[in-house]
Structure 1
Amino acid sequence: MSRIEPSASQVAARTETHRLFFALMPDAATRHEINHAAALVQQQHPELRARWVRPERFHATLNFLGDFPALPDDVVEKARAAANGMRAAAFAWMLDYVASFRGREPPCVLRGSQMPEPLLALWRNMHTTLVETGLRLRDERQFTPHVTLAYARHELPQAVPVVPPVVWQIDRFVLVHNVVGKGNYQVLGTWGLSG
């Protein structure tokens, strides 16, 4: 009796990782400013030998919902329900330096030296609301908001100031679906922040 081997597309489908997370996504003008900051670091620090993130993928993760073998409709539904019930204020976030996180491919990230209180409140409230909706999330005790610019071979020796800083006017958050390693992010929902 002969055995039928799965096709390459069937094997690929079985090994896909579907990632879900809530994030802040910059508008076109802010994305351009973030890209300009990344280009300056790239020019000033070629020793990083980095893989630079495409501008359309710039974001700041708020809450990570998990990795899944297929897009989980129940998780998406609960996440949307939680987001529909959230109320938060719009705010400005000033991103004024680039630094490295530790890791095998140390991420090169854009950060702000001051965390806006509304950003911290949005993260806390979202986490609480998602858990109350029945989602199981990692227990995040600390929030380090950032925009990843690159994955490098080496860490930056010290923080690089961004002059002038990027001032990001944040008036919405989004639910993002990503098939890891494939294409662009798919936005599954957008929720506005009040004025």
Structure 2
Amino acid sequence: MPRLFTAVEIPRDIAMQLSLLRGGLHGARWIDPENFHVTLRFIGDIDDRTADEVADALDRVNRRSFTLQIRGLDAFSSRGPHALIASIEPTASLLELQAEQERLMQRLGLKPEPRRFHPHVTLARLRGTTSSEVADWLAMRGDYRLPAFEVSRFVLYSSRSSVGGGPYLVEEAYPLAA
């Protein structure tokens, strides 16, 4: 039973720049640069027949390539900080691609994604890190930005069912029109 999700890959040069942020934060489990991505739609654990239907449905997506840019660092927090992220500027093209995938998954009978889409790259998972430690780490990095990069495809990833995912395996790649 595969665990699947769709995503935009992060180019190697951008991933290397993001990896330079590693360190200096107690309780951070840093994500390896080769596993950086922008999740579009988490699909979850599904049977092989449904996985084939998902792959076929995604093959019908017909969108143009676009650019994305990392603008800022932040943390996800509910009862305390649990993930350190690099925020992605939410362009119309990215939001439309994600919304189309959401509609396709619901047409296949998958439950709607309960969380609002917030485009980001997870840099680290946090455990036992205080809000003030995260605030200090973020403050030292200021207004973090990286050059825009071209998105010419999205992918269907599989992951092992464990805390933190990775390593991720590209099951299918879906090119975007030039």
The aligned residue for residue 84 of structure 2 is 108
Deviations 1:147-184 (A, max 9, x none): 00001223421564454424232111111111123762
CA distance in 2, matches of 1:50, 1:30: 21
Which amino acid letter does the alignment assign opposite residue 116 of structure 1? T
- The alignment's C-alpha RMSD in Å is 2.3
The aligned residue for residue 6 of structure 2 is 22
Indicate conservation of the 8 Å contact 1:66/1:137, yes or no: no
Q: Which deviates more from structure 2 when the two are superposed, residues 181-190 or residues 81-90?
A: 181-190
Q: Alpha-carbon deviation of 1:30? A: 2.4
The aligned residue for residue 61 of structure 1 is 39
CA distance in 1, matches of 2:114, 2:171: 23
Which amino acid letter does the alignment assign opposite residue 171 of structure 1? S
In structure 2, stretches of 5+ residues that fail to align are none
Q: Is 1:148 matched up with 2:122?
A: yes
Alignment of 1:12-51 (within 5 A): 18-36=2-20, 38-39=21-22, 42=23, 46-51=24-29
The aligned residue for residue 104 of structure 2 is 129
Alignment of 1:172-191 (within 5 A): 172-181=153-162, 184-191=167-174
Looking at CA atoms only, which structure, 1 or 2, has the larger radius of gyration?
1
Alignment of 1:70-89 (within 5 A): 72-89=47-64
Q: Is 1:167 matched up with 2:148?
A: yes
Deviations 1:126-153 (A, max 9, x none): 1112222x13133446210110000122
Count of residues in correspondence between the two structures: 168
Q: Which deviates more from structure 2 when the two are superposed, residues 155-164 or residues 23-32?
A: 155-164
Q: TM-score, normalised by structure 2?
A: 0.83
SS of aligned partner of 2:146:
strand
Indicate conservation of the 8 Å contact 2:68/2:151, yes or no: yes
Cα 1:135–1:29, aligned 2, differ >3 Å: closer, same or farther?
farther
SS of aligned partner of 1:106:
strand
CA distance in 2, matches of 1:54, 1:123: 24
Indicate conservation of the 8 Å contact 2:8/2:38, yes or no: yes
CA distance in 2, matches of 1:127, 1:111: 20
Q: Percentage identity across aligned positions?
A: 24
Q: TM-score, normalised by structure 1?
A: 0.76
In structure 1, stretches of 5+ residues that fail to align are 1-16
SS of aligned partner of 1:97:
strand
